[in-house]
Structure 1
Amino acid sequence: MNTFSRPALVLATVSTGIGLASGVAWYLAHRDDAIERHVPGTEAWIPHLVITAVVAVWWVIAARRSPLGAKVVFSPLLRPITSRIGATFRTSRNPLRWAAAAFLVFLQLYMCWRIGEQVFAGLDPNFTHNAWGGPSYLGAMYCHYLDGALLFSLAHVGLRGATVRSVDRQHQHA
């Protein structure tokens, strides 16, 4: 059975926590009573509606292939992929694999940080008014989190391609 990887959960939680703290710091440091003027056309709703459809179809197809639909969303945190990452650094002699795996892990940690940061920094209207999905907080967060979901999914697919199978038979199917 696929279970969560403790190191992956700790790294994701710490990265998100640092993001939440930096969002509070950003909000306190940059909050201004003068709200900047919204620039029409910065919302990017049409591309994000297309991204919504792509992510929804992708996750529905992936969920149908998996006994647990939530596995699609949480697969970067499960033991199989972390076993593959570890196996890549232990057994592969290919520095390009190492670089690709390290970059994709960094991207996922960056996304955890960025998602955390946006929770509080987004409360400042000047943070969201020209953001994709802005000028509202909910619209900006929807678009940013949707982008995060797509990047997490792409990074996971990239990790599956860049990493080697784990010799741990229990966790080799990521």
Structure 2
Amino acid sequence: MKFSRIALALAAVFTGLGIASGVAWYLDHRDDAIERQVPGTEAWVPHLVITAVVLVWWVIAARRSPLGARVVFSPLLRPIASRIGATFRTSRNPLRWVAVAFLVFLQLYGCWRTGEQVFAGLDENFTRNAWGGPSYLGAMYCHYLDGALIFAICHVGLRGATVRSVDRQHQRA
């Protein structure tokens, strides 16, 4: 697997920014008064269904790929980064540019939000009425599961919205 340095750097920067904002949120919003748990806010049934969907999707995708890890890391690999670059260089369709930019933005937002939840989730009020709450582990499970599904959907969308790279080395994407 050959990773795109730009994709890795952007993911690391946005995750780092998310971690920093999560620490700031935790330090600024922490309160000794714990909110009351509202029944039904935990949303476990939909997340068990989402878990099944993600597992089936990744198993099928892993079987199609020589390396199962490519399923998880494919948005960070060179082929998709090459396709994104090729789309902005060669496509004359502004709607395609907007679609690709939105999907990249959504993935970067996901990196930020994932990072933020690491420390902000330590505040009991952050997870109290969250999906998977009131526990930290439950809330993080549900949020990261949603994130994994969003990343996968964005990647499929990027494969459809981008054009093939003229770089022969990355044509398999």
TM-score (norm 2): 0.99
TM-superposed deviation, 1:129: 0.5
1:40-79 equivalences under 5 Å are 40-79=39-78
In the alignment, what sits opposite 1:104? 103
1:140 paired with 2:139, answer: yes
In structure 2, runs of 5+ residues without a counterpart are none
The count of aligned residue pairs is: 173
What's the secondary structure of 1:165's corresponding residue?
A: coil
Give the aligned CA root-mean-square deviation in angstroms: 0.5
TM-superposed deviation, 1:37: 0.3
TM-superposed deviation, 1:165: 0.3
Counterpart AA for 1:164: V
Distance 2:13 2:47 in 1: 28
TM-superposed deviation, 1:173: 1.6
In the alignment, what sits opposite 2:130? 131
In the alignment, what sits opposite 1:37? 36
Distance 1:113 1:56 in 2: 24
TM-superposed deviation, 1:172: 1.7
- Per-residue CA deviation, residues 57-100 of structure 1 (Å, 9 max, x unaligned), is 00000000001001000000000000000000000000011000
In structure 1, runs of 5+ residues without a counterpart are none
Distance 2:64 2:160 in 1: 18
Distance 1:10 1:173 in 2: 23
TM-superposed deviation, 1:42: 0.2
1:95 paired with 2:94, answer: yes
Distance 2:136 2:172 in 1: 39
Counterpart AA for 2:52: A
Distance 2:22 2:170 in 1: 36
In the alignment, what sits opposite 2:120? 121
Counterpart AA for 2:102: F
- Per-residue CA deviation, residues 24-74 of structure 1 (Å, 9 max, x unaligned), is 000000000110001010000000000000000000000000010010000
Distance 2:36 2:172 in 1: 51
TM-score (norm 1): 0.99
